[in-house]
């Protein structure tokens, strides 16, 4: 992993913490990709006992997962305590009177880092992570997810690819040489990290999303409200001058199309299964022997 990928964790936590209050007002892309990930999840026959929403943010997906799997125990982990506080409020509001029913399980809300998950080995059936892993070291995070997943457990996630916000990146490049937009892993790096972590049967694909804005200023404001700050190591410190912001806005005008400015996102969708159990043995001819006790896992 290059220097560019070394994100400053404290800054991520602070930035998302400050964003918690108004995040839901601007999380348009997050809603779209979260819904798509849930749609994809509905294609898999699964009866998870324990679900982790990793980088749960304000808890929108947590609520949807609770509704879809009412018998499951839910765990939400986020590095920003303020996000979890908001998730708790949102969960209570969404569940209304249902939360008093004896069967309704309250989610466990844990402040924690995807790179050091506060969960036992082999303890989770479904890890759901919508637009959170792009803030993490993927090698370490996937190894952690592999550690906590049960062998027939499933990881479903979205992340951002390097073409994300290329218009804004180019506009900034016309002003100075500092990295103003985070640098994201490409699909090849993501796949390699999954394979290295020994996640089973990894699958990845990519989709492009375009949000539309009246001005570049409005886009930059939304990114700030979302908490999606620039956390590159080599980022420019200190305040950005008005002149620089004007230059960015002027350059961005070259993308104007049908009276609006596009902001492109490259969204990577991925899933994989938990680790292949070491009690499985492979013969020289490649035949895999699976203990009868694990045969339920074949119905994926
Ligand atoms: C873009 S938000 C997505 C939130 C939510 N999943 C959604 O779909 O709205 C990213 C979230 O990941 C959290 N996050 C960032 N780095 C993290 C890490 N290393 N461990 C856990 N959470 C992290 C942030 O605090 C933030 O709440």
Helix, strand, or coil (residue 177): coil
C-alpha of residue 198 to centroid of ligand 1, in Å? 23
pTM: predicted TM-score of the whole model, two decimal places: 0.88
**Closest atom, ligand 1, to C-alpha of 114:** 20
As a whole number, mean pLDDT of residues 86-97 equals 91
Per-residue pLDDT, 283: 54
Nearest residue (by CA) to ligand 1, atom 14, is 55
The DSSP bridge partners found for residue 155 are 127, 272
Q: Residues with beta carbon inside 6 Å of ligand 1? A: 12, 16, 27, 30, 34, 55-57, 60-61, 77-80, 83, 113-115, 130-132, 135-136
- According to DSSP, residue 190 is labeled H
Give pLDDT tens digits for 240-252: 778 888 999 999 9
Q: Is the pLDDT of residue 218 over 90?
A: yes
Give 196-250 as a DSSP string. Answer: HTT-EEEEEEEEEEEEEES-HHHHHHHHHHHT-----TTPPPSPPPHHHHHHHHH
What gap in Å lies between CA 291 and CA 51, rounded to an integer? Answer: 25
Q: Enumerate residues 6+ apart whose C-beta is below 8 A from 160.
A: 131, 134, 184, 265, 266, 267, 268
**Best of 113, 132, 157, 269 to mutate for ligand 1, by most ligand atoms within 8 A of CB?**
132
Shortest-distance atom of ligand 1 to CA 17: 25
3-276+287-299 CATH choice from 3.30.43.10, 3.40.50.150, 3.40.50.1100, 3.30.420.340: 3.40.50.150
Q: State the helix-helix crossing angle for 166-173 and 242-252, rounded to 10 degrees.
A: 130
CA 246 – ligand 1 centroid, Å: 30
Nearest CA to ligand 1 atom 13: 55
Interval 27-63: pLDDT, tens: 999 999 999 999 999 999 999 999 999 999 999 999 9
**Domain assignments of the chain as residue spans, ordered by start:** 3-276+287-299
Given this model, what pLDDT does residue 293 score?
41
Distance in Å, CA 291 to ligand 1 centroid: 38
Q: What is the mean pLDDT of the segment spanning 1-10?
A: 56
Pocket mutation for ligand 1, best pick of 119, 135, 182 (most atoms within 8 Å of C-beta) = 135
């Amino acid at each position: 992993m290059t220097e560019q990928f070394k994100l400053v964790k404290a800054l991520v936590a602070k930035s998302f913490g400050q964003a918690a209050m108004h995040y839901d007002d601007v999380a348009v892309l997050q809603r779209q990709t979260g819904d798509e990930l849930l749609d994809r999840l509905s294609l898999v026959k699964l009866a998870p006992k324990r679900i982790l929403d990793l980088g749960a943010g304000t808890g929108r997906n947590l609520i949807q997962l609770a509704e879809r799997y009412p018998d499951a125990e839910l765990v939400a982990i986020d590095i920003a305590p303020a996000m979890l506080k908001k998730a708790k409020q949102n969960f209570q509001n969404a569940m209304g009177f249902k939360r008093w029913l004896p069967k309704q399980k309250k989610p466990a809300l844990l402040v924690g880092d995807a790179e050091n998950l506060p969960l036992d080995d082999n303890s989770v059936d479904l890890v759901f992570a919508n637009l959170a892993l792009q803030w993490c070291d993927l090698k370490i995070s996937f190894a952690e997810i592999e550690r906590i997943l049960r062998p027939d457990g499933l990881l479903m996630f979205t992340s951002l690819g390097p073409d994300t916000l290329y218009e804004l990146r180019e506009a900034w490049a016309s002003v100075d040489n500092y990295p103003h937009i985070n640098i994201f892993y490409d699909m090849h790096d993501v796949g390699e990290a999954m394979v290295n972590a020994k996640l089973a049967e990894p699958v990845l694909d990519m989709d492009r999303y375009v949000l539309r804005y009246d001005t570049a200023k409005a886009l930059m404001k939304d990114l700030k409200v979302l908490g999606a700050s620039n956390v590159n190591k080599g980022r420019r410190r200190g305040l950005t001058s008005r002149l620089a912001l004007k230059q960015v806005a002027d350059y961005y005008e070259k993308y104007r199309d049908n009276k609006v400015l596009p902001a492109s996102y490259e969204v990577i969708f991925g899933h994989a299964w938990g680790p292949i159990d070491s009690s499985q043995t492979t013969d020289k001819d490649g035949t895999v022997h699976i203990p009868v006790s694990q045969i339920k896992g074949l119905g994926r």
